Amino acid sequence: MSKKRIGILTSGGDCPGLNAVIRGAVKSAATAGMDVVGFIKGYEGLVDPVQYIPLNQKNTTGILNRGGTILGSTNKGRFAATVGVSDRLELDPELLAGVKTTFEQLSIEGLICVGGDGSLAVAQQFHEYGLPVVGVPKTIDNDLSATAFTFGFDSAVACATDALDRLHTTAASHERIMVLEVMGRHAGWIALYAGIAGGGDVILIPEIPWTFDDVCQKILRRDREGKRFTLVVVAEGAHLPKGGMVTKDRREEDRQVRLGGIGAVVASEIESRLQRDTRVMVLGHLQRGGPPTTFDRVLATQFGSNAVRLISEKRFGEMVCYSPPAFDSVPILEAVNVLRRVDPNGPAVQSARSLGISLGAHPEQTTSNEIYSAANDTAELENVADEFEAVV
């Protein structure tokens, strides 16, 4: 009897831990007596031209701690099943038919799709079309519902925390305000966790409204305490006080708009209001590169082996998830339809507030009289925001 053959692909923006998933799946498949092929550049490798490599224990040796993905990845490309967060875009029926042919020709009995919400939305449409797929949740933003953690998140937080540690010493030496912009499109998990871990004084996230007054009051309070330096952590997707996000370019068709620049807006406003030396640092894709942390290796490896288990149990259309201490699964549809965002009244935010971290929109802070003169000029503030709200 011929061996069962399964496929795996990595799709969307990369993150640390993708190779650990691949290795975990290949090893578990070998134990279960299955062959594995890896499709190249995400869904693109499935059709026209079909591109894949047979994966085995030999060619996946030594990849556990390697960043990126040995299979390559494509963000959207021809396989875009969503516009923005959740508006459905139907996949081209010809493309779907082509994928079906590939499955038949290569005798693929199950495909592991590793990706974030957009990529899993593609897997969902494959499932509806009758293709045997299972999902593995990936994103540094940790914003997929139905799993306590996505792999990549812990590594991104470790990177941002390391940056804060380094900014801390130079900020203290020069009595400066340091603004660190981190990733986090719809959710502020990276900013919140790194802010707590790295001793941030101000954390600005998309889920909690804030004002420049909040930020500057905190800096002044620290000054009075004799701490003449402040660390501000801001998520790239944090909303400006007057609304709107800071973007790098206009949205291309089928693509999400590129975020970035809010750190500069915040730094410039602090500097002009307080006349204090302020610097901004944008961490960017450093957060997505490099080796996964121990936690992400363990999580990703177990996701890989559990995905193989789902295939052997024929639980197609499901995504593996982590519900500590167990690994479980949920319908992919459930996972892609709801973003997991920071609860403004959740435990991490409450702890941060009890530590004195300013997150904005806090009654005790907004009623304070510590506002310096320029801060009262709301119109001026809005003008500054206006300038930057366009593409920077």
Q: Which of 157, 259, 266, 300 binds ligand F6P (CB under 6 A)?
A: 259
141 binds ligand F6P (CB under 6 A): yes
Residue 13 within binding range of ligand F6P, rule CB under 6 A: yes
Does 258 contact ligand F6P by CB under 6 A? yes
What is the token pair recorded at 352?
Answer: 């941060």
- Rounded Cα distance between 118 and 329, Å, is 18
User: Which residue among 140, 196, 300, 357 contacts ligand F6P (CB under 6 A)?
Assistant: 140
The residue among 339, 314, 301 whose CA lies nearest residue 134 is: 314
The residue among 148, 163, 154, 112 whose CA lies nearest residue 297 is 154
Stretch 99-118 residues interacting with ligand F6P (CB under 6 A): 116
Binding mask 50-89 for ligand F6P (x = CB under 6 A): -------------------------x--------------
Q: Which of 35, 117, 141, 201 is catalytic?
A: 141
Span interacting with ligand F6P, options 85-93, 134-142, 271-279, 290-298, rule CB under 6 A:
134-142
CB of 189 to ligand F6P, least distance (A): 10
Q: Closest separation between CB of residue 67 and ligand F6P, Å?
A: 14
Q: Give the pairing type, strands 34-39 and 4-10.
A: parallel
Catalytic annotation present for 141: yes
Looking at beta carbons only, is 264 or 384 nearer to ligand F6P? 264
What DSSP string describes 116-143?
A: -HHHHHHHHHHHHTT--EEEEEB-TT--
Shortest Å distance, C-beta 86 to ligand F6P: 14
3-state secondary structure 32-89: CCEEEEEECCHHHHHCCCCCEEEECCCCCCCCCCCCCCCCCCCCCCCCCCEECCCEEC
3-state secondary structure of 339: strand
Q: How far apart are CA 185 and CA 106, in angstroms?
A: 37
Please give the residues from 158 up to 217 whose contact with ligand F6P meets the rule CB under 6 A.
Answer: 183-185
Question: Which is closer to ligand F6P, CB of 75 or CB of 145?
Answer: 75
Please name the residue that has the structure tokens 């990529």: 119
Position 139 contacts ligand F6P (CB under 6 A): yes
Amino acid identity of residue 316, one-letter, is F
Residues 261-290 binding ligand F6P (CB under 6 A) are 288
Q: Are residues 19 and 63 in contact, defined by beta-carbon separation less than 8 angstroms?
A: yes
Give the residues lining the site for ligand F6P (CB under 6 A): 13, 75, 116, 139-141, 183-185, 236, 258-259, 288
Could you list the active site residues?
141
